[in-house]
Structure 1
Amino acid sequence: MMAGVIFAKLARPIKRAATLLFSKHAVICMRDGKLCLLFRVGDMRKSSLAEAHVRLQMIKKCVTLEGELLPFHQFDMDVGYDSGLDRVFVIWPITICHEINECSPLYEMSKDMLAHARFEIIAILEGVAESVGSTTQARTSYLPNEILWGQRFEKLVTYQRENGEYRIDFSKFHNVVDVYTPTCSAKELDDLRARGIYDENGYLLSPQLSVTDSFGNDDENKAITKNGLTQVVIQADEDDDDERRVSGIALSEMHQRRRSFLCSPSPDAELRRKQSVQVRRGPDLF
């Protein structure tokens, strides 16, 4: 009996959880046309976790309709529970994605509001350690000042043609790069879409571009600005006085280039984008 107790204690996967990594920061950026909260998880050991899955919860103060104060209310944050994308195979670092939609507690959160918000997001990674067959769990949390708006994670997996292998550079695990991201909330973006003044191709996977809020003296061109940054450029259709349409969103230095390189997507491109949204929503490789 004593031998069994000793074996059970030694077999506990305590040190296994220490090899599971979370990124130091979470980021908010555009993915498939949606504002998303992203963070990274990785496993330093060669033996991967079995049945690994991720959960995400927000803890914040809440007041009920009856006026009851709940100081530490828990909100579930979807990372693909219904589609099974919360179950991950951590053979290399994985980027976990939470889409900020109408069901998300971050739906009405803008960049300015995030700077003054009070909440904590708990990220939990659970799985079965193959070596001992016991469940292990690793946790971390993100405060508002640890969530970077307008950033994305740097790529750390590269393919080596000389030997046909993939190389993982864990020194870049926490690295982020700038990416152009609207500063308004996801709710405001949905309102822009409903009004037909949002270009789905407006935010590309690229370093942050400089934006100018001056567009000349043409009264037919109007800019929607927020905090001094141009968000949307509306151009009137000269052939139609009753209706106005959107021709694009200005993102680059218009005084120097004097052109917009964002156009309305073709029907084929729009169909491919919708199919991509359906397939890639949730945890993403690399």
Structure 2
Amino acid sequence: MGYGNISPQGIPANIIASFEAMCGWLFFALATGLLYGRFSRPSARILFSRNMVVTPAEPFPKLMFRIVNQRSNMLMEMESRMMLVLVDHTNDQHNRKYYSLKLEVANIIFFPMNWTLVHVINEESPLYGKSTEELSRQEAEILIHVKGFDDTFSQILHTSYSYQHDQIVWNARFQRAYETDENGNIIMHLNEIHRYETVI
């Protein structure tokens, strides 16, 4: 059994119905674009070593940490910056001071495996002459920023990390996190990136 048809009658009613239909299609198009843009946005999955190490070297010790790409995509034009944050407690105040830490190699073209970033603790370094007790008293924190170009999505990725003063291991060095099989292929062990050994 039929109930008849309901349709707009007259020019004003047709204009309103057309406007409602257009708004409905625009809403669905906007929602689809927002959802696609949200879930298709690339994100960097860069793994940082749990600790930084200070390795004795001549003529100056070196502060190091390691990163590795957890995905199989190619990252290029990698750039890293490191900054030291110290809290000044003089005059019963808590003022944060920021110091740039120069890296030996701050840029690499390709990022196929792990990357060990090194800061030399020389006379120009804000860490020069500081003891672990002094870094603890000043609540030292090291901020890391890494930027790179994702070849898969053709977009620039950013990621950041930080190390507290108690995450710095003195007189240590990282162990190798990869090996070569019988065919000459390099096998990277992501869980080995955190391993270090004490240097006597």
TM-score normalised according to structure 1 size: 0.54
Question: Which residue in the other structure is 1:178 paired with?
Answer: 198
Of all paired residues, the percent bearing the same amino acid is 25
Count of residues paired in the alignment: 169
**What is the aligned counterpart of 1:100 among 106, 109, 121?**
121
State the SS of the aligned residue for 1:31: coil
Question: Which residue in the other structure is 1:158 paired with?
Answer: 179
**What is the aligned counterpart of 1:125 among 128, 131, 146?**
146
Query: d(CA) in 2 for partners of 1:154 and 1:114?
Result: 25
Q: Deviations over 1:186-230 (max 9, x none)?
A: xxxxxxxxxxxxxxxxxxxxxxxxxxxxxxxxxxxxxxxxxxxxx
Distance 1:107 1:24, change over 3 A: same
Amino acid at match of 2:86: K
Give the RMSD, CA atoms, in angstroms: 2.3
Residue 5 of structure 1: how far off its partner (Å): 3.7
Distance 1:115 1:70, change over 3 A: closer
Q: Deviations over 1:103-148 (max 9, x none)?
A: 2110121345445442110111111222222222221111111100
State the SS of the aligned residue for 1:7: helix
- Structure 1 portions without partners, runs of 5+: 181-286
User: Contact 1:52/1:126 (CA < 8 Å) preserved in 2?
Assistant: yes
Query: d(CA) in 1 for partners of 2:56 and 2:179?
Result: 23
Q: Deviations over 1:217-258 (max 9, x none)?
A: xxxxxxxxxxxxxxxxxxxxxxxxxxxxxxxxxxxxxxxxxx
Residue 149 of structure 1: how far off its partner (Å): 0.4
**What is the aligned counterpart of 2:39 among 1, 4, 10?**
10
State the SS of the aligned residue for 1:8: helix
State the SS of the aligned residue for 1:47: coil
State the SS of the aligned residue for 1:34: coil
Question: Which residue in the other structure is 1:189 paired with?
Answer: none
Query: d(CA) in 2 for partners of 1:4 and 1:167?
Result: 40
State the SS of the aligned residue for 2:56: strand
Distance 1:95 1:35, change over 3 A: same
Question: Which residue in the other structure is 1:272 paired with?
Answer: none
Q: Relative to total residues, which structure has the larger helix share, 1 or 2?
A: 2
Query: d(CA) in 2 for partners of 1:95 and 1:49?
Result: 16
**What is the aligned counterpart of 1:43 among 69, 83, 103?**
69
Question: Which residue in the other structure is 1:145 paired with?
Answer: 166
Residue 26 of structure 1: how far off its partner (Å): 0.3
Query: d(CA) in 1 for partners of 2:194 and 2:70?
Result: 14
User: Contact 2:88/2:138 (CA < 8 Å) preserved in 1?
Assistant: no
Residue 9 of structure 1: how far off its partner (Å): 2.4
Q: Relative to total residues, which structure has the larger strand share, 1 or 2?
A: 2
TM-score normalised according to structure 2 size: 0.75
